[in-house]
Structure 1
Amino acid sequence: MPKTDETLIRFSSPSERLNSTDTIELVKRIQSSPSLKTLQVHNHAISNRAIHILAAALSSFETLDLFEPYLNNSGVSVLARALNTNTSLQTLKLRRDKISYRGACALAEALKTNHSLKKLNLYGNQLDDPAADALAQALTVNNTLTTLNFCENKIGDTGASALASALKVNRTLIKLNLAENSIGDEGVEAVVNALEVNTSLKILILDGMKISDKGLAALADMLCKNKSLIDLRLKYVDVNTMGAEALAKALTENTSLKTLRFFGDELTTSTLSDEGAKALAQGLRTNRSLTTLEFNDISDVGARAFAEGIQDNTSLRILRLELSESSHDAISKETAEAFAAALRKNTTLTTLLLETGVVSNEVLQILYDALVENHTLTNFFIGSLKYNNWNEKFQSLLARNKQLQTKPSSVEGSVSSERPVSSERPVSPRHNTYSPAYFKNEPAATSSNASTSSSHPSCR
């Protein structure tokens, strides 16, 4: 039988403490199973002795995931010293572990000599500008790390500038997550200027940044020159007309970007003006690389502009739009007709998600008639379709056109067909209800227990 990767998981009430005896048992379970290479300890304080035991056994792991174990700088320093000589660990997740400057310095020193670690997740700690600077210096030397997650720390423009300097010489980092920090235009400009030189970074996450037109203009200018970035995420970032026009120009020149996301949630959105939507839609007409575009908090007029923009586009596969409450959360007849025209003409779009409130029968009829003629769309969702008898009509259409499906989850990589309800807000860990603590072996890829309480999926 093929080898199955498994995860050994320890969950408990935060009030309980993982002692040395428990840790020894965890290590023994890892060492006794050749396929068991991942250890997760979530919501569970770890004693000082237990940390030393884990560090001594680090060579037994490929992935170590410690979520809210209250490690602090001392515990991280112990693990960092073990990393200096470790050759097996590939993924290290130290999330919400109260790591600050001293812990960052210890990790930075380890990164200068370690040649196995590929992914480092430091989500939700207390890393500030000096901490970012220490880790940035390590990036100028390290040549194995491919993913670095700083989501929800305390990094400002100075720290972002230090990381930008590192990006100019680093050639291995593929994904950098700076979401939900205190970075503004100055820091963003430094990072994107570095990407005019850097050719390895593929994914840049800047969710929640306080970016003005100046910062968006710098991003757009970078996109006109950079040929390697394929995924740019700017959730919770407002885009007014000037910023949208700059990005639209970039879309006409960029030939590598495949994913652009400005999608927030119901509490924190990415506002896009009507004129901004029109500018971006115009850019879509000639862009030939973008495959996924997501926006929310747009008006009916803005949605109509995108509908007109995709008529001539030949690369976009996924379009997700959510109308703002100021638009009364509905799609007008005129906008429905624009989407209908697009569906009759566009032959590459496979997923169309129009997240609205109640949709009129007239609008549904217009879209239904267009979908009868469309043979490429495989995912379609609009408003409250599943709550009324129109669902049966669309289902009958599926019987005649098996390529069309109303559930976006049927296509790999698409987003959920359900209307998002605070899908990226903080949630309580699902395993806090288990007490006393328990051990469980299960496949890492399929375990529901492997999920965490990160505020944003991109921070995990």
Structure 2
Amino acid sequence: MMLKNMVHRKLQNEKYDERKEFPTLESIATTEVGRHFEKFATLEGLDERLHAGIRKKIIENAIELTIKEGADIHSVNTTARSIHLEEYWKKACEYRWSKEHRAKTLAIENNGLSWKVAYLERHVTELIEKIANFEEFYQKKEVIHTLHIVSSWIFSLDLAVVPQNFDLRIVFENLPLLREVTLKYSEGPMTEKRRDSVGMKLAEAANLGESVKNSYSLVQLNVSGNEIDDDLFKFIMAGVACNISLLELNLSHNRVGDHGAKRLAKFLIRNEILVVLNLTNNCIGYDGSRYLSQALKINKTLEELHLKLNKFDDKAGSKFFKDLSLNTGLLMVDLSANSLGHLSARKIAELIQTGTGLRQILLGSNDFSHDSLVIIKGSIPEPRGCEHFEASKFSEIRL
């Protein structure tokens, strides 16, 4: 047939490209290797520089044939170490997740602008979240094997469901480059949550503490919304206190109270690393505020402190802002939605007038009277600062 077409076109004086009718040996080879990519994924014998074009063509054929045939994407245990072409991983992401509209996975700005990192991080997240029983040997072995293979490309994990009995130490031990971790604890599928099944348990808190203790790359830990009370917090802080890399700790939307604040204060007195501490929506009252403010007299590295939606009354706020006059490192503090009043307003004004390193103070939804707001406004030195305070409906001070 091909020969007949060639003769016909020549008789008709038509332009004829032999390469289209008779595929080259290279074209046949790249197509067949792509078709059986699982067997040849390492592309052994093809130098990355000398044979870059051939390697690229094989990889493109592999993903195109997978999409065309509707097959599962190639196993990361096969491809992670051998394929670095971003176009492959982009197509793999789109093929595996675009139908489910998982924009978060496909937003590579959250993954170091790398499609490969985006794919592997999402793959590991789903692998862990789908574990039914981590005590079963084959599941444990599979997770450890996969983590070991992909370890060079995993920098962040966002686990919406941490499985029961899952040992986080395996994650931290096998992912030495892990920098950001977000954890949510609950029993059963997300759609079947009950109040008593949501949140971290004692054994899980102890396991998290042990895991964080020996992590030397962890920069950001987010355990927001896990029903962590002072008893659980003790076990977590046992590990956090020994960590030497953590810059940001998010404990928002938990049940940390005054005893937990005391433990945090002891940590802040000794710590010279942490930059951001988020305690939004917890149960810290007067005693806890005293512990924290005493610690801030000594701590010089913390730059952001979020204390919105706690139990600071006017007396607590007054003492807190009085002690902040001795702090030199804090740049932002959020005490919105507490119960600050006139006494706190006076101390805020004194703090601003005597000079402070703070550049932003958030105060919305407190119990300030009109006179209290006038006192605060009068202490702001710059006219633009006063204008912004009014424009923000007296909720934000910028210095």
Q: Specify the TM-score bucket, using the shorter chain as the normaliser.
A: 0.5 to 0.7
Q: Percent identity?
A: 23
- TM (norm. structure 2) is 0.60
**1:322 partnered with 2:388:** no
Post-superposition Cα deviations, 1:178-230, rounded to whole Å, max 9, x if no partner, equal 11111111112211211111111111000101101221122212321100000
Relative contact order (alpha carbons < 8 A, sep ≥ 6): 1 or 2 greater? Answer: 1
Tell me whether 1:150 sits opposite 2:251 in the alignment.
Answer: yes
Q: What SS is found at the alignment partner of 2:181? A: strand
Aligned counterpart, 2:316:
215
Aligned CA distance change for structure 1 residues 64 and 86 (closer, same or farther; 3 Å): same
Q: C-alpha distance in 2, partners of 1:284/1:136?
A: 38
- C-alpha distance in structure 2 between counterparts of 1:254 and 1:175, whole Å: 22
CA contact (8 A) 1:227 1:254 kept: no
Residue 79 (structure 1) shift: 2.1
Judge conservation of contact 2:223–2:251 (CA < 8 Å) in 1.
Answer: yes
Deviation at 1:110, TM superposition (A): 1.9
Q: Which residue of 1 aligns with 2:201?
A: 100
CA shift for structure 1 position 173 = 0.7
Match of residue 117, structure 2, among 20, 31, 37: 37
Q: 1:253–1:133: structure 2 CA closer, same or farther, 3 Å change rule?
A: farther
- Cα separation, partners in 2 of 1:70 and 1:135, compared to 1, 3 Å: closer
Number of aligned residues: 270
Structure whose CA Rg is larger = 2
Correspondence for 2:158: 65
Match of 1:48 among 121, 132, 149: 132
RMSD (Å), alpha carbons: 3.3
Structure (1 or 2) with the greater helix fraction: 2
Of the candidates 98, 111, 116, which is equivalent to residue 212 of structure 2? 111
SS of equivalent to 2:339:
coil
The DSSP-based 3-state class of the residue aligned with 2:297 is: coil
Distance 1:172 1:323, change over 3 A: closer
Describe the SS at the equivalent of 1:92.
strand
Indicate conservation of the 8 Å contact 1:239/1:273, yes or no: no
Q: Look up the match of 1:90.
A: 179
Distance 1:114 1:226 in 2: 29
Taking a change above 3 Å as real, the CA distance of residues 102 and 220 of structure 1, as seen in their structure-2 partners, is same
Equivalent of 1:275 in 371, 391, 398: 371
Aligned residue type for 1:46: K
Amino acid at match of 2:241: T
Name the structure with the higher strand share.
1
1:64-108 per-position Cα deviation (integer Å, ceiling 9, x unaligned): 0112x2534x22xx2233314542100001135432332121121
Provide TM-score, normalisation by structure 1: 0.52
Picking from 342, 353, 356, the partner of 1:241 is: 342
Task: Extract unaligned runs of 5+ from structure 1.
Answer: 1-21, 264-268, 286-309, 325-348, 351-460
Separation in 2, partners of 1:316, 1:120: 37
Cα deviation 1:367-426 (Å, max 9, x = unaligned): xxxxxxxxxxxxxxxxxxxxxxxxxxxxxxxxxxxxxxxxxxxxxxxxxxxxxxxxxxxx
8 Å contact kept, 2:377–2:389: no
1:144 CA displacement: 0.2
The CA distance in 1 between the partners of 2:358 and 2:258, in whole Å, is 25
Segments of 5+ residues of structure 2 without an aligned counterpart are 1-71, 87-113, 187-198
Q: Deviations over 1:249-276 (max 9, x none)?
A: 111224311111123xxxxx33421111
- Gap change, CA 1:100 and 1:191, over 3 Å in 2: farther
Query: Is the counterpart of residue 201 in structure 1 residue 302 in structure 2?
Result: yes
**Superposed, which structure 2 residues align to 1:290-439 within 5 Å?**
310-311=382-383, 320-322=391-393
Pair 1:133–1:273, CA change in 2 (3 A): same
Classify 1:118/1:225 alpha carbon distance in 2 versus 1 (closer, same or farther; 3 Å).
same
